[in-house]
Structure 1
Amino acid sequence: MEIIHENEYLYKMNDEIEPYLATHRQEGYISGAEDHLHRKDTGIVGKIHVQRYLAEKPKGVIIISHGFTEAAPKYEEMIYYFLKAGYHVYMPEHMGHGQSYCLTADPSLVHIDTWKRYVRDFLKICHVIKKTYPELPLVLFAHSMGGAIGTIAAAWEPQLFQKIILNSPMLRPLTGNVPWPLVIAIAQTKCLLGREEDYVAGQKPYDGSETFETSGCTSRPRFEKYNEMRKENKKFQVSAASYGWLLASVKMSWYIKYCGWKKLTAPVLLFQAERDDFVSVNALRKFAEKINHRGITSCEYVYLPGTRHETYRSDDRTMEMYLDKIMKFMDSGMVSDSCT
């Protein structure tokens, strides 16, 4: 499959890809997990915004689990590739992101009360999809925070996904110069003191100041495209973590490290960026090693030289190899009882 090259990226996306996707897109809302529909003090109903793209002769369904502060439009290029390859694509936006429900009134803040809410909501969406297409295999495509959510979902229900693709998954977030044990202690203390909705130290409201050089993207045209879209739409401007979210990320990391990885049964394809400022590369390597050593399933570990955290938004040369690897992984051994 031919990628969209950087020298024509804006033109292709604006004039060809986005109109094509618009003709295939349906969108709406699906209620989140029943035990986490709303909070009485805010009256917020737990509705997850979901985009659906339908292929003409589907051989499977790809469910995308996006990363921290991301929204659906950021994945339009990958959605296009998957759709052209013959897969239905579902793009839910996690709670607190995009057009899905929030637990805080601050439009810049990502806050959550319990990490299990992410997983329960995501699984609710997956169940709806599986009920709609019972004969089609489900493929998980997950990035960063969404990688943690998706990995736990796959651990809770090992038979749900036939293939798992993880891009720089947040198996353990990086915490700068602050030691991991201290981060845990601070997050726990803040939440115990009732300050779970405070901004994590060093975080700030969205101000549109992110640059290509400070981003997790390797491709300047890809960065600029989404960055301009983000500046124009407040729904895409979440930018900071609360202490509640930080503690949730810690607990997701613990679950995956000590329990979750053992429950996976589907083959895993894991991409590691060379320069990752957001997740622990050491945690990624240990995760893959443990899965392969256990022998229940396999984890193919792919190192991408010259890339940053957002491996799915890389330079042309990397994208060609990256996409080829994904397509071969998905198509190998894929079993479907129906092509309708």
Structure 2
Amino acid sequence: MKQPPTTQQRPADDTPEWLEFFKAQVEVFWEQQVTSEYFAAFDGLKLHFAYYRHSDSAPLVVIAPGRIESALKYQELFWELAQQGFSVAALDHRGQGLSGRLTANPHQGHVENFNDFVRDFSDFTNLLVARFGDVPKTLFSHSMGGTIATIYCATYQHPYKKLILSAPMFSIETGIVPYWFARWIVFAGAWLNRWLAKPWYFLGMGNYKPVPFEENVLTHSRQRYKAFRDAYDNVSDVQLGGPTFNWLYEAISAAINAQKLANDITISVILFQAGNDKVVSASGQKKVAAAVTRDHFRFETIKGASHELMMETDKFRQPVLDALIEETRKLANA
């Protein structure tokens, strides 16, 4: 059994000491104690995942990341959960992170069919069951990962006892453009895309380009944003640009499907909405909250928070982390 990192007080993210802590503790923990592996998807595509095993009996937290994300982006969360005595695992979805790409341009965010993401996640979960056995399992999912997790938990037999949705993609923010018009543009572009058999970026999108902190819509935390950008700048293989027409078509269709399926999930669910989200719209999340009738569904809004709740400043991030730890601890003690 690997020895867990030494527990210590984490500096506040708005202090210079936070970045020193991240480099001295989190990055060293990631390099020394987190395992990186690959497995073949149903169509032969190589998929990357990372995991930390605390012990053979420790509860397991599984992470379904959002679009453009990699397990690498969750280094701090891995470290924190290890401090609690939990095992952790995260999948790089097809077409992003260190997993195989789906177009000739590795910067294009693309997928042929959104259900491929769901099938991959099912296969990943089966792999984890084989590795970790019947230990209690919590599923933490963010943004696009929330769509994947919702469809998966509603339609597959699975081993998870808790599902936490962080700013799930149940509808996409279209800004000043009416949603119906944006959908029409996406559907038309995706149809042409498929007819020509040549994926291309959605309007205005392009290859990976670092966005200055002052222009970002993901987080208020300058330190966490820098750590995220540094990681992606240092590992060019995880860099990803904008989505293709087909990715958007599939994502919009999947988000609508997830809204309809949410009430079919039989395990305990907490949905965290980012109150100042500029990436996914609140409407789909509110529709799900209004439609779900089960007692074990909880809806909470983190007022003022931007989209990336686990990359946000401490005051926005901590309630989500506390809930994840609390729910996983309950499973361990049940």
The answer to whether the superposition gives a TM-score over 0.5 is yes
- Does the 8 Å contact 1:158/1:263 carry over to 2? no
Separation of aligned partners in 2, 1:71 and 1:24: 17
Tell me which amino acid in the other structure corresponds to 2:163.
I
Residues 314, 191 of structure 1: alpha-carbon distance in 2 compared, 3 angstrom cutoff: closer
**Match for residue 267 of structure 2?**
266
Q: Counterpart of 1:115?
A: 114
Aligned to 1:41: none
Q: CA deviation at 1:4?
A: 4.3
Structure 1 68/219 Cα, relative in aligned 2: closer, same or farther at 3 Å? same
Alpha-carbon distance in 2 for matches of 1:136, 1:212 = 43
Retained in 1: the 8 A contact 2:59–2:328?
no
| Cα shift at 1:113 | 0.6
- In structure 2, C-alpha distance between the alignment counterparts of 1:257 and 1:215, rounded to whole Å: 24
Aligned equivalent of 1:177: 176
Aligned equivalents of 2:312, 2:190: Cα separation in 1: 37
2:3 aligned partner: none
Partner of 1:254: 256
Counterpart of 1:241? 243
| CA distance in structure 2 between the aligned counterparts of 1:69 and 1:76, rounded to whole angstroms | 15
- Structure 2 unaligned blocks of 5 or more: 1-6
Map Cα deviations across residues 158-194 of structure 1 (whole Å, 9 max, x no partner). Answer: 5431000111000111122222222222222222223
User: Among 212, 218, 223, which residue is 1:216 paired with?
Assistant: 218
- Residue 57 of structure 1 and its aligned partner are, at CA, apart by 6.0
Q: Decide whether the 8 Å contact of 2:107 with 2:242 is kept in 1.
A: yes
Q: RMSD across aligned C-alpha pairs, in angstroms?
A: 1.9
Partner of residue 4, structure 2: none
Q: 2:206 is matched by which residue type in structure 1?
A: K
**Alignment partner of 1:5 is 2:39:** no
User: How many residues were matched structurally?
Assistant: 322
Aligned to 1:312: 310
Query: Which whole-Å CA distance do the structure 1 matches of 2:136 and 2:115 have between them?
Result: 25
Summarize the Cα distance change of 1:320–1:185 in structure 2 as closer, same or farther, 3 Å threshold: closer
1-structure distance, mates of 2:266, 2:157: 6
1:162-201 to structure 2, matched below 5 A, reads 162-193=161-192, 194=195, 197-201=199-203
Superposed, 1:107-146 pairs within 5 Å as 107-146=106-145
What pairs with 1:24-103 in structure 2 (closer than 5 Å)?
Answer: 24-32=33-41, 34=42, 36-37=43-44, 46-56=45-55, 58-103=57-102
Which stretch of the first structure deviates more once superposed, 127-136 or 147-156?
127-136
- 3-state DSSP of counterpart to 1:101: coil
Q: Does the C-alpha gap of structure 1 residues 207 and 17 become closer, same or farther in structure 2, counting only changes over 3 Å?
A: closer
Contact 1:218 1:310 in 2 (8 A): no
The letter for the 2-side match of 1:226 is F
Residue 325 of structure 1 aligns to a residue whose secondary structure is helix
Q: Which one-letter code corresponds to 2:301 in the other structure?
A: Y
Gap change, CA 1:334 and 1:285, over 3 Å in 2: farther
Tell me the SS of whatever aligns to 2:213.
Answer: coil
Deviations 1:263-299 (A, max 9, x none): 20111111111210111212112212322x2x2x522
How much has 1:212 moved relative to structure 2? Answer: 4.1
Q: Contact (CA 8 Å) 1:159, 1:266: kept in 2 or not?
A: no
CA shift for structure 1 position 308: 0.3
Q: Distance in 2 between matches of 1:140 and 1:212?
A: 32
Shift in CA distance, 186/310, structure 1 to aligned 2, threshold 3 Å: same
Q: Which residue does the alignment assign to 1:22?
A: 31
Measured after TM superposition, the shift of residue 140 of structure 1 is: 0.7
Q: Is the 8 A contact 2:259 2:287 kept in 1?
A: no
CA-CA distance at 1:16 after TM superposition: 1.5
The alpha carbon displacement at 1:320 in A equals: 3.3
Q: Identity over the aligned pairs, expressed in percent?
A: 25
Amino acid at match of 1:249: A
